Amino acid sequence: AHVVQVVEVADAPLGVFLVLDYVEGDALSGLLNSARAQGEHIPRRIAGRILSDALIGLHAAHELVDDAGKPLNLVHRDFSPHNIMVGTDGLSRLTDFGIAKAAGENATTTGVLKGKVGYMAPEYALGKEPDRRADIWSAGVVLWELLSGARLFKVKNDVAALIKLVSQAPARIEDVVPDVPSAVAALWASS
C-alpha cells in the first residue's frame, strides 16, 4: 500500500516505458516547497506520518524476494522528497524505483553515482556498493529536512554537496531545532 505499483512494462519505438498507478496528490518535495514559500513547516505529526508511510514502502522493497524466496537486497538509491507521493487519500507512497539496484546487478556503470547528491549516503558517494543502509541514511536526511524546514547541506551545486557530504558531519538536529524531542535527536547520536 505504500509503494506506487507498476501496472505494466512495455516497449515502444522510443524505448521501454512503465505504467504506474496514478496517485492523486503531490510529491513531498512540492509540499515542502509550498510550506517554505509561506514561511511555514509541515506539522510534525503529519510529517512523521508521511515519512512513516514511505518507510513502510521502503522496508517492503528491502524485504523483496524472488520466486525462489531468495532476498533481492534491493536498494532504492533515491529515497528523497521528490519520490514520496502524498496522496489525497491520506497515504504516502514511495515511487521511482527506476534507479533501484538489486544485489549483484551490474546495471550501473562503474564510477557513476545514481540518485540526488543531497540525500546520498557518504559511503555511497565514496564509491562503496550501496546496501539498505544507504536508503536509511537518505531517510534520515528527509527527516532532518522535515524537522528543520531546510536542506541538510546548503550549497550551490552537486560538487560542493559531495565535498561537504564526505568531509563534514551534518549539523546536530537539536542545534538547528532546539525543541526537537530527545528521542528524535537520539537517532543521530546512534548513527
Q: Are 148 and 136 in contact (CB under 8 A)?
A: no
List 21, 66, 78, 135, catalytic entry = 78
Nearest by Cα to 32 from 176, 140, 146, 137: 146
For cell 496528490, name the residue: 25
Q: Are 72 and 66 in contact (CB under 8 A)?
A: yes
Q: At what angle do helices 132-148 and 182-189 cross, to 10 degrees?
A: 140
Burial of 42 (0-12, 13-18, 19+ CB in 10 A): buried
To the query of whether residue 158 is one of the catalytic residues in this protein, the response is: no
Could you please report the per-residue DSSP string of 129-157? PP-HHHHHHHHHHHHHHHHHSS-SS--SS
Q: Any idea which residues carry the catalytic annotation? A: 78
